[in-house]
Chains A and B, each alone.
Chain A
Amino acid sequence: MRGMRRVMCCVSALAFTTLLLGGAPSTASAQDGATGGKISGRVTSADGNAAVANVSVTVVGTRLGTRTGADGTYTIFGVTPGTHQLRAALIGFAPSEQPVNITAGGSATANFTLTRVATTLQQMVVIGYGSQRRSDLTGAVTTVTPHVEETPITSIEQTLQGAAPGVQVTTASSAPGGGISIRIRGGSSLTGNNEPLYVIDGFPVENDPENSSPTDAGRDANVTVPPNPLAAINPDDIQSIEILKDASATSIYGSRGANGVVIITTKHGSGSKPRVTLDMYTGTQSIAKTYDLLNAQQFAQFANAWAQAQTTPSTPFPNVDTIGVGTNWQNLIFRRAPITSAQLSVSGGTSNANPTQYSLSGGTLQQEGIVRGSDFKRVSMRGTLDQSVGSRFRAGSSLLVSRVNSTMVPTDGSFNSGAGAVGAALQYIPILPVRNANGDYTLMSTDYPDYLASLGLTGGNIPNPVASALDVQDDLGDTRVLASANGDYKLLPWLTFRANVGADLSNRTRDTYYPRTTLQGMALDGRAIRGSLANTSWLNEFTLNLDRHIGSSQSIQAVAGYTRQTFTSTRESEANSQFVSDITGYENIGAGTQVGGPTVSSGKSRWALASYLGRINYTLLDRYLFTLTGREDGSSRFGANNRWGFFPSAAVGWRVSEEPFMRRFTAFDQLKLRASYGVAGNPSIQPYQSLTHLTPVSYAFGGSQQAGYIPTTLGNANLTWESSKQLDIGADVGMWRDRLNLTADYYSKRTDNLLLAVNLPTESGYTSAYENAGAIQNRGFELGVTLDVIRGDTKAGAFDWTTTFNYARNRNKVLDLGGVNQIFATSINSDIKSSGSLVQVGQPIGVFYGYKTAGIFRDSASLAAWNAATRMGSGSAPTLGSERFVDVNGDSVIDANDRTIIGDPNPKFTVGWQNTISWHGFQVVGLFDGSYGGQIMNLNLYRLEGASPNGNILASRYYDAWSTTNPNGKYAKIGSGIGFLGSDFTSDLVESGSYFRLRTLTISRDVPTQWLHGLASTARLYVTGQNLHTWTSYSGFNPDVSSLGVSNLNRGVDIGAYPLARSWIFGVNLSY
């Protein structure tokens, strides 16, 4: 089978080259003809008269054409005599045409002056192993141009927030440098990675934020969401971002295309004159929203109310009036935090026979987090150099080096000892001070007041929030080098061979120290963990690119290539405890005196991918477009039997607007219908998952340690890719000279062979194993509209208003789970044994699961009626003012069989809306985004709506509790639990996560040139507000949340999430 494939590959390679050869003679003869004339000229820009390079100058109706050099000049030879229409075109400029008369053997001059315009149709779109005019696209591709200088952002993914239809951006953590999750057209994998493939200047980067643990210098499942691996890249270096969504576009990335592909193109040099830009901003961030909790006096009243409701009523706080407001823990851990950034860049080139283009940039970002103790610093440097040698050879290289240092604060987490600073601040009782009289931090479990303890209450064993925020040292360092070198050799004017070699090297460290002042370090006399992870990825790529016209009515663009990529990861970690002193922190791991010495571990893994790829775009009469794409991928991550997979796709496009019958409809610049169908894959799992693992353990016989091995992972040799088949039908409409652009797509994506960590019957000795089982469907509709509502010449200071709106709805449905009807998520954490979420056939992914409640018992009649018909499986009987559980299965008992689906984290639709208004050098940009219909399981309420004063609660939980005097109270009576039954949740914890947010509002002003006195050629000042207002009914910090990380299970859960910051930023852009 494998031999067969090898032969096939060789044969197809030969066939491809033979095809080229076979095509050659006719090509060559096509070059024949009478000696023609010569047209030459220069192309300049209307603004500033500068030379414009790379302009395509063509003789209309012929194949003749060329591109301008760096000095803007061009020459076309062999033009047949007569009068021709000559056309000059370049993305970003209005195309220009003029007639030229040429005689046999003569020469003529035609100069062009191009005017800059933002035209969408002519835009070149990067589509993976090549680029295409937007008007020729057959796939669903969205381009996002980040205007970092207009709206400061700190990470790439933020650029996409609200910017493109079908791209859902979820903030897993709002911490500086925190994880952001992206879903393109919904989640298509349950347990595997759902993040798109990032291709940075041609280098594919798999971003799997879930695949790390603190000992790998990554995520700590209990207290933090994953750090953001792309945070190392400075968004200011990005030229454009292309998002490939349908199968036609993504199948060129084969086994890694199923989640969509984000192609990032960085800035390269252009022009000839050095251009220097300086972008700087500084600002301040503060918490956007806090919880309204009880203060000390209110808490005492609550405790009294609770004690009065007990069998033996008492009053633990007899003198409530003398108790002040106590400690506001939220105020103590949140702060106003500064952010500053500066980026200097120089770019330019030389214009001669062997032109050079270069760009250099360096930037810094310093951001403090709004939770005390957290910050993020990045220094990045970037350089590109492109050198042409004659007209045939061109070499390019780019190098990006960045260093991130960030300090984390444990925020998200569980309830008890695992709680982070934020979770702890919410639960910590306000009557305790930060420190005891002796200067030590208070601890709720030991310093819990005796007069409450005597009532049988115990204070939760949660960390002191201030100690967590200030004393835990948790430092993350990430050094990343992305380097690539490529060479293009024009074998023929229409055939280019390209070799590309790239490397992505990263070295991440995470060093943590819990001093003895913290709960985690107290019992162990200090605890240190150091982890490091070094990743090395190499890429080799060889492609042949063909770009030919056949006659005047057909054109072909094709690419064929072979690529290999390897990824090697090594990790090390060491941990120790029992430190004599906290002074050395994590820096001297040997200073710990842990019995048995420090815990050390190391590991290494590798994967490799080999691929054959090809694509043909064929255009007939400039209106019928056909694309065929295929990629054969071999991956080491799967068993030998299923190592190779083929991912084909096909697409057609019809530019209706080019049809003769459409000429009457002059309003249309473009009307194109598209359809595509194809397959892409998702490797989803980590290396070695197909193999059974044995893990070393030991046992102490007679006090002496002896080694043992236990099987820990059940292997499955048949594992293979998840494969997504996708149908896309779309339309692109451009009207009224680019005034309105509209793109609409309907898609239906079915993912089969889901890689599932299927829960196994525990009787097998295993809890789960990976299997290819089941299917998921995502269907949706996307709409993107750009409209120049009022089109004014901004140069002249006229009023101009452009609005961009996008809408996306996605319906996600689990079709099959390989024989089982439902799969439970793993339990949420050590305190919360419930799964919280499950995946069930017929339902969207990751719905919430638990008991349904229907308000509270407000009158004896309804209580009696309920009691007559129903009883609680636990034996306890409900009372007036307690929660009313719904007997879902109608068997008169409230027990595990009444658990049902109580919520859905998947939004029904998402929108983004951007408005840009310019007037007299002022510009206002407002970006809104919103999400409707998704729900959040707010586990903070599990405690904040608690029954008893063993932790703080919401003010409204106390003041609006049901009682005989407050019969319409929203909450159950004081002392009656809310939100859980046994270890499962109830629908009380599920809230609407719908929101509409003014994400950024920027007001900028171009400084008039005369004010600059030559200090700069252009200058712009701006002020930006971020997250200024959120319209939502969600009670937590931020409805855009996913505390348990970005996996598709346990999505949309909020436990002490890092809160959202509202920021005001002032910035300046200067250029010389």
Chain B
Amino acid sequence: MTRHLSRNGRTVRALALATTLGAALFAMAACNDNKFLTESPIDFVGPANFYKTSGDALAAVNGVYASLENTTGTNYYGGLFVMLVEYPTEMMTPYLSAGNERSLVDNYTFTPSHNYIYQSWASAYAAINRANGVIENVPKIQMDTALRSRVVGEAKFLRALNYFNLVRLFGGVPIETQETTGLDSLQKPRNTAQEVYALIVQDLQDAIKVLPPKSGYGASDQGRATRGAAKSLLAKVYVQRGGTGVGDKTADYTAALALLQDVDKNEGYSLVQNYMDLFDGQHNDNPEVIFDIQCINAPNLGCHLSSQDAPRKSNYGSSQNGSFTAELPFFNEYKTTDQRRAATWQLTFVDKSGKVQTWSSSQSASGSYGADAPYMRKFLDSLSTGNDARNYIIQRYADNLLLESEAINELSGPTAAAYAPINQVRARAGIGALPAGLNQSDFRDSVFHERRMELVMEGPNGYFDSQRNWTWASNRIVANMLLGASTKFKTSKYPKADPFAAPPIPDKYKLMPIPQRAIDINPQLTQNPGW
């Protein structure tokens, strides 16, 4: 009996111990769980602790600049966007086999699935979302009010630039003016081109009010959007809107002209004497550049076009794609006295064995120069290691001058006032004045021709200029293609397939197709006509 009691007692004691242990453990655990499970960022910055200081405001707007080149690599101004705008002209060709992505753009055989179209779309919208973040959040920061307005103005300038790229490529696109913070209702239909232009104009007008002139920035802030840049870009926006029939032609050209004259008078830009200085990397802070992408040779801080420029057989840079060669007829339009000829095209380069290779008309792809026509030279940085120290020029004063000639001619014909700006550009190039007495149409074509000669590879402008003078551009492109078809080695443009059996280029090409991938994801988007 005692034994039973003792067994019983042991059982009770053991169970009591178990109860205590269990209860204590569970209670202890339950009461600490929430602290134990709280997740807080260790190695990154979250939105909760951002947009607090002026440093955050600057960091946020710097991020928008970076989206032009640094954070998109070659997807935007670093390559694909530039190719998408420059190849479909009669100026340059990638000189690759017909199925190559670049050739598809060059030959008008691209489809809505083409990657360059999608990447340009995505890159512009990524920049727009970042700019929206600045425009929305920075005004709430307690900081120096002048700096605060400037930062917001910079963001509006950059938002306008990106929408301008979109509206020129695609026509009307969805307008986003709020930073994306959640996943709800992200599928929006397209706005009209008019609505997009209205937003661009509004943003730039706002920016003009708050941005400082170029002299208002210190040396370490060169490259930020200036008042002059905002005015110049707005002028270009008006010209494009009026020139493509989206806006009222007279009103838009009038507004553009007023802005261009304002810039002439008040912003202090001038042509540099030596055209080559614009591209040699030694004269970045020159009085001609209005807005450019600033690049240095350091990881994630460089531009990316140089490796596309570098001749295939050269020893320049980290890779040599030779993706931009002149179309021979276009190159032949440069007079030998034109200082732009050697500054734009690589008439010589150093090959892998250290020998200097020189372009001559007898050269072909199989020869020592490696191409039928000269390689592009602008933005070539032969010392690049994948990060080029060559600022990519988006707009400069010569562009403004040519826009001015265009505007005056459209408004009042080829007057002396219309001749003056273009002749300034021609004089600097060393090719003398434009023949006097041209009619309005011939004068227009001459201005566009001058834009091609002066601005090839910059901007980019090529395809966008074509949109304003479609017949002229189309005829030139088709002529080169036909020439290419009949005498392959006289022009590097590959023979074009069916659509050009009967020129001109079909009208659907006046706009790029909405990227198929964008439509796949957002079925609210409608495709452009003809695609």
Contact = CB atoms under 8 A, between A and B. Distances in A.
Contacts of B22: 13, 16-17, 544, 560
Interface stretch (B61-69, B249-257, B428-436, B456-464): B61-69
Interface string A673-698: 00000000000000110111111111
A824 B520 contact: yes
A596 interface: yes
Scoring A491, A599, A634 by chain B CB atoms within 10 A of each residue's CB, the highest score goes to A491
Given A562-B25, A577-B385, A635 B37 contact: yes
B99 interface: yes
Nearest to A560: B22
Interface string B296-311: 1111110000000000
Interface stretch (B40-48, B232-240, B397-405, B407-415): B40-48
B174 A763 contact: yes
A795 interface: no
Given A769-B183, A876-B498, A606 B23 contact: no
B42 A604 contact: yes
Contacts of B366: 450-451, 453-454
A510 B409 CA distance: 65
B67 A710 contact: yes
B37 A709 contact: no
Interface in A811-833: 820, 822, 824, 833
Given A707-B62, A708-B59, A700 B498 contact: no
A595 interface: yes
A392 to B, nearest CB: 10
B18 A497 contact: yes
Nearest to A873: B111
Scoring A451, A453, A562, A694 by chain B CB atoms within 10 A of each residue's CB, the highest score goes to A694
A86 B50 CA distance: 75
A716 B42 contact: no
Nearest to B116: A833
Interface stretch (A26-34, A148-156, A201-209, A1063-1071): A26-34
A965 interface: no
A765 B27 contact: no
Nearest to B17: A491
Interface in B17-38: 17-19, 21-23, 25-27, 29-31, 33-34, 36-38
B202 interface: no
B176 A698 contact: no
B258 interface: no
A667 interface: no
Given A2-B34, A605-B42, A771-B183, A759 B521 contact: yes
B37 A608 contact: yes
A610 B36 contact: yes
A497 B16 CA distance: 13
Contact of B11 (A24, A451, A523, A706): A24
A594 interface: yes
Nearest to B4: A32
A875 B66 CA distance: 38
B19 A17 contact: yes
Contact of A698 (B39, B186, B300): B300
B374 interface: no
B19 A21 contact: yes
A524 B222 CA distance: 30
B97 A491 contact: no
Contacts of B284: 702-703
Interface in A268-327: 311-312
A492 B223 contact: no
A495 interface: yes
Interface string A320-360: 00000000000000000000000000000000000000000
B499 A708 contact: no
Contacts of B479: none
Which secondary structure characterizes the binding site on chain A?
mixed
B56 interface: yes
A451 B497 CA distance: 25
B186 A760 contact: yes
Interface stretch (A91-99, A117-125, A977-985): A977-985
B285 interface: yes
A189 to B, nearest CB: 19
A454 B364 CA distance: 8
Nearest to A768: B521
Contacts of B517: 762, 824
Contacts of B149: none
A824 to B, nearest CB: 7
Scoring B41, B62, B104 by chain A CB atoms within 10 A of each residue's CB, the highest score goes to B62
Interface in B308-354: 312-313, 317-319, 352
A1010 interface: no
B222 to A, nearest CB: 3
Nearest to A35: B3
Contact of B518 (A595, A605, A762): A762
A705 B298 contact: yes
B21 A761 contact: no
Contact of A758 (B56, B59, B183, B188): B183
Given A702-B219, A702-B221, A765-B130, A714 B43 contact: no
A596 B298 contact: yes
A894 to B, nearest CB: 10
Given A698-B62, A763-B125, A643 B43 contact: no
B354 to A, nearest CB: 14
A14 B60 contact: no
B41 A688 contact: yes
A1012 interface: no
Given A20-B19, A542-B25, A595 B298 contact: yes
Contacts of B47: 692, 694, 711, 715
A690 B518 CA distance: 25
Contacts of A21: 15-16, 19
Contacts of B99: 947, 977
A1011 B313 CA distance: 73
A903 B109 CA distance: 28
B394 interface: no
A5 to B, nearest CB: 8
A637 B43 contact: no
B296 to A, nearest CB: 4
Contacts of B440: none
A446 B37 contact: no
A704 B294 CA distance: 10
Interface string A594-613: 11100100111111111010
A104 B63 CA distance: 91
Scoring B7, B31, B108, B521 by chain A CB atoms within 10 A of each residue's CB, the highest score goes to B521
A860 interface: no
B450 interface: no
B34 A762 contact: no
B199 interface: no
Contacts of A703: 222, 284, 294, 296
Contacts of A763: 125, 173-174, 176, 186, 188, 518, 522
Given A14-B23, A451-B366, A610-B36, 12 more contacts: A9-B30, A10-B27, A446-B312, A544-B22, A595-B385, A697-B300, A700-B223, A702-B222, A705-B298, A709-B63, A762-B126, A982-B114
28 contacts: A6-B34, A10-B26, A20-B15, A21-B15, A27-B11, A28-B8, A311-B488, A446-B352, A456-B365, A495-B18, A544-B18, A604-B43, A606-B42, A608-B36, A688-B41, A692-B47, A693-B46, A698-B66, A698-B70, A699-B294, A700-B298, A701-B223, A706-B58, A708-B64, A709-B59, A762-B515, A874-B111, A982-B113
Interface of B: 4, 7-8, 11-12, 14-19, 21-23, 25-27, 29-31, 33-34, 36-39, 41-47, 50, 56, 58-67, 70-71, 96-97, 99, 101, 104, 108-109, 111-115, 118, 121-122, 125-130, 132-133, 173-174, 176, 179-183, 186-188, 218-224, 284-285, 294-301, 312-313, 317-319, 352, 364-366, 385-387, 488, 495, 497-499, 515-518, 520-522
Closest CB pairs A-B (n = 4): A765-B129, A708-B62, A454-B366, A13-B26
